[in-house]
Amino acid sequence: MASKDTHTTEYEPLDGVGTGDEFSLEDILAEFGGGRKQAILRDVETEVTPGPEPVFQPEAPEEKPAVLPEPEEKPAEESLPPSPRPVTLEEVVGSTVSAVMEEQQQEPLVKPRRGLFSRKKLEDTEQLYSTPEEEEEPEEEDLLDEEEELLSDAAELWRERYQNRRGLVPAAFAMALTPIVVQAAERYGVIVPWWSDSLQNQALALLACLVLTALLCWQVFAEAVRTLMKKRCTGEVLAAAAALLSALDCGAVFLLKNRTPVAPYAAVACAALAFASFGLTRKSRAMYDTFHAAAVDDEPPYLVTETELGACKQRGSVPGFYAAASRDDVTVFWQTALLPVVFVASFVFAGLSSLGQGRGHDFLLNWSVILSAGATFVLPLCWSLPYSVLARNLQKTGCAVAGWLGAEKISRRKTMIVTDTDLFPPGTMQLNGVKVFGEELPKAASYAASVSRAAGSGLERLFDGLVRSEGGHYRNVDEFSFYEEGGYSATIRGESVLLGTASFMRKMDIRLPSGINLKTGIFLAVDRELVAVFAVKYQPSENVDYALRVMKRIGVTPILAARDPNITPALLKRKFHKGIKVEYPPISNRVALSEIEKDRGVPRALLFREGLLPYAEAVVGSQRMVRAVRRCLMLSLFSSVCGTLLAFYMMFLSAYTLLTPLTLLVFLSLWLLPVWLYTDWTGRY
């Protein structure tokens, strides 16, 4: 056969273009790149020389010359269906993001074109899986670069803070409740001795209660100062400012004779300080529970991080957890954006309602009322209460979430990557029987164990015990490949080995005995002949079933990244709840996703127990907590705006008899009910 490379074709000169120009096939192919030339040569060789079905191999770079396969003497069997397409382990490992990025950075000398006259670039038709390290955010690098404090030291620090704050909260609420009870009794006609005699006595008593409450809640003022030094503004800042203005208004009763004769609103400021102190106490308990659980082991078994497909469980690593847990939560950023506006608006509204109406002596009174209405009780609680519930629940199950940053990251996508060991942990897979056909059991067990170890599936634990009991040993595995149809192929000591399900063996033209009907059996074939059948039993675990039910109820979808050919959505529906829905990607993606679990990413959560349940509770609980915090945050900001506007309207009309301290307390307390409901909702999943 004449070589196609030496064959040239002459073309007639085109009209109007010129004469004497000749275009050969080599010139056209050289113009449009070597890749197109190789494709034409392969097509011509395929048409001329018949051969067997091509075996899948990784694509070679375009700059390398193509090597044409030599024709085999064995004719192709056209009557048989095409063999299943294997996916080699080298292909999966070779298709990583780094290799793809290197290929994209290398620009070819000649840009590929679709045709002779088209300049549109060729498009890739295969979408490779990209690992999460490809799109790391700058904050992740900062977390790993920050100085890490020992988790045990952090736990001890927050424990001391919690102990110091816990004992003062009941006393603060009792002191704040004292003027409220007295004013409520007076409203219903009860004459209180000394209190009801004069306004100055009421102002003095309210000032004393406010000072004592401030002393009990001194950590609120300390937290407000620390927040302002970091250029932040939170609910603690407004509560402290409202308390100071209320104290000044109590003094104005003695100094300003023309002040409107109404009692100061110091009782509202006392209640705001008490709730702010309670919020700090719950935050301290949440941080203590988090670091106490994280400090159980310096090398935790697993961590949970995020990928572009969802949450993923990886090998345990502590660096980065403390920095992530210490980051500010979302409420700090939103309150910092809005609460300064509320503070300035309260100052302006106080001036409009007093100085603007010729009542300058009521400026402190109106400002304290408007600011107290804007410093609602739910502002310090919208983050601390849900997080404390989540931290307490996860500590019981052996988990720890790295604050708002960790919870938000792993719950951003409503998906989780689960593998063989997550669904069927050790002890739930059993070998019920083995049948050998014309081969010794030690050799069959050795081949099956060697291939399953190369596959990295959960079957490795099963066959490892069989090899040890039968006196076999592991063999070197070459040319290993995965098959989408549910099996593996490899070469051991020059023999072709197939391991997989019954349907895989039939598609590979392996003759099976008619009397064998195993839904979860594993078949071993050597050199196209059936050698052994292994009866595998999958025992469902109650914890796994409960975890899958919780995930379905909350709306988290598991992505099945199993390498065991028997673990399919159909098997899960038979063994667990029938309503379970999972994503089942192609084999190449499943292998790539399972490879990610061997990495160590930025720890968003730490797991100290085996099984799917701790993993699921960390992701599901984080999702519930994130939703609750966002809803409580929106509610708190809305209540702050509404309280500011309502108080301004009442002060502008001088309606002090309508907006009394008791009515303002009731208004602010009603906003607490949704927060308590959302907090309780956080722990119910």
Paired residues of 433 in beta bridges = 535
Spatial distance between the Cα atoms of 606 and 603, rounded to a whole number of angstroms: 7
- Reported as a pLDDT band with limits 50, 70 and 90, residue 344 is very high
**Is it the case that residue 576 has pLDDT exceeding 80?**
yes
Higher pLDDT, 411 or 138: 411
Please give the model's pTM, rounded to 2 decimal places. 0.76
Tens digit of pLDDT for each residue in 353-375? 999 988 889 999 999 999 999 99
Tens digit of pLDDT for each residue in 443-466? 999 999 999 999 988 888 889 888
The per-residue pLDDT for 43 is: 52
Q: DSSP string of 13-30?
A: PPTTT-SS----HHHHHH
What string of H, E and C letters represents the secondary structure of 644-656? HHHHHHHHHCCCC
What is the arithmetic mean of pLDDT over 79-93? 52
What string of H, E and C letters represents the secondary structure of 297-319? CCCCCEEEEEECCEEEEEECCCC
pLDDT more than 90, % of the chain: 52
Spatial distance between the Cα atoms of 170 and 161, rounded to a whole number of angstroms: 16
Q: Dihedrals φ, ψ of 405, to 5°? A: -60, -45
What is the arithmetic mean of pLDDT over 209-227? 95
- Reported as a pLDDT band with limits 50, 70 and 90, residue 578 is confident
Spatial distance between the Cα atoms of 448 and 466, rounded to a whole number of angstroms: 10
The per-residue pLDDT for 54 is: 34
The per-residue pLDDT for 370 is: 96
**Is it the case that residue 518 has pLDDT exceeding 60?**
yes
List C-alpha distances in Å: 569 to 318, 462, 583, 673: 34, 21, 8, 43
What is the arithmetic mean of pLDDT over 420-428? 88
The per-residue pLDDT for 600 is: 78
**Is it the case that residue 440 has pLDDT exceeding 90?**
no
Specify the DSSP element, H or E, that contains 442. helix 441-455
- Nearest one of 153, 152, 398 to 298, comparing CA atoms: 152
SS3 260: coil
Tens digit of pLDDT for each residue in 281-290? 999 999 999 9
The per-residue pLDDT for 168 is: 92
The per-residue pLDDT for 91 is: 56
The per-residue pLDDT for 40 is: 44
The per-residue pLDDT for 633 is: 95
Tens digit of pLDDT for each residue in 312-336? 999 878 888 999 999 999 999 999 9
Number of neighbouring beta carbons within 10 Å of residue 663: 13
- Reported as a pLDDT band with limits 50, 70 and 90, residue 190 is confident
The per-residue pLDDT for 363 is: 95
The CA dihedral of 414, 420, 426, 429, to the nearest 10 degrees, is: 130
Report residue 527 CA to chain centroid gap.
Answer: 46
Least confident of 90-94, 97-101, 155-159: 97-101
Tens digit of pLDDT for each residue in 104-153? 444 343 344 333 333 344 333 333 333 333 334 444 545 555 556 788 89
Spatial distance between the Cα atoms of 594 and 455, rounded to a whole number of angstroms: 11
Tens digit of pLDDT for each residue in 593-641? 888 877 878 899 999 988 899 999 999 999 999 999 999 999 999 999 9
The per-residue pLDDT for 11 is: 35
Q: Dihedrals φ, ψ of 114, to 5°? A: -75, -35
Least confident of 203-217, 600-614, 634-648, 654-668: 600-614
pLDDT more than 70, % of the chain: 78
Spatial distance between the Cα atoms of 596 and 614, rounded to a whole number of angstroms: 19
- Nearest one of 89, 588, 606 to 315, comparing CA atoms: 606
**Is it the case that residue 100 has pLDDT exceeding 80?**
no
Spatial distance between the Cα atoms of 498 and 529, rounded to a whole number of angstroms: 9
The per-residue pLDDT for 137 is: 43
The per-residue pLDDT for 404 is: 94
Cβ–Cβ < 8 Å for 290, 400 = yes
**Is it the case that residue 271 has pLDDT exceeding 60?**
yes
Give the chain's mean pLDDT: 81
List C-alpha distances in Å: 368 to 200, 210, 653, 656: 18, 13, 16, 13
Spatial distance between the Cα atoms of 237 and 583, rounded to a whole number of angstroms: 47
Q: Position of tokens 């009801």? A: 196
- Reported as a pLDDT band with limits 50, 70 and 90, residue 247 is very high
- Reported as a pLDDT band with limits 50, 70 and 90, residue 397 is confident
Token pair of 238 as six digits: 């407004």
- Nearest one of 601, 636, 638, 624 to 678, comparing CA atoms: 624
The per-residue pLDDT for 286 is: 95
The per-residue pLDDT for 223 is: 94
Higher pLDDT, 47 or 396: 396
**Is it the case that residue 177 has pLDDT exceeding 50?**
yes
The CA dihedral of 500, 503, 507, 509, to the nearest 10 degrees, is: 80
What is the arithmetic mean of pLDDT over 215-234? 94
What is the arithmetic mean of pLDDT over 384-409? 93
Higher pLDDT, 643 or 68: 643
What string of H, E and C letters represents the secondary structure of 28-76? HHHHCCHHHHHHHHHHHHHHHCCCCCCCCCCCCCCCCCCCCCCCCCCCC
**Is it the case that residue 69 has pLDDT exceeding 80?**
no
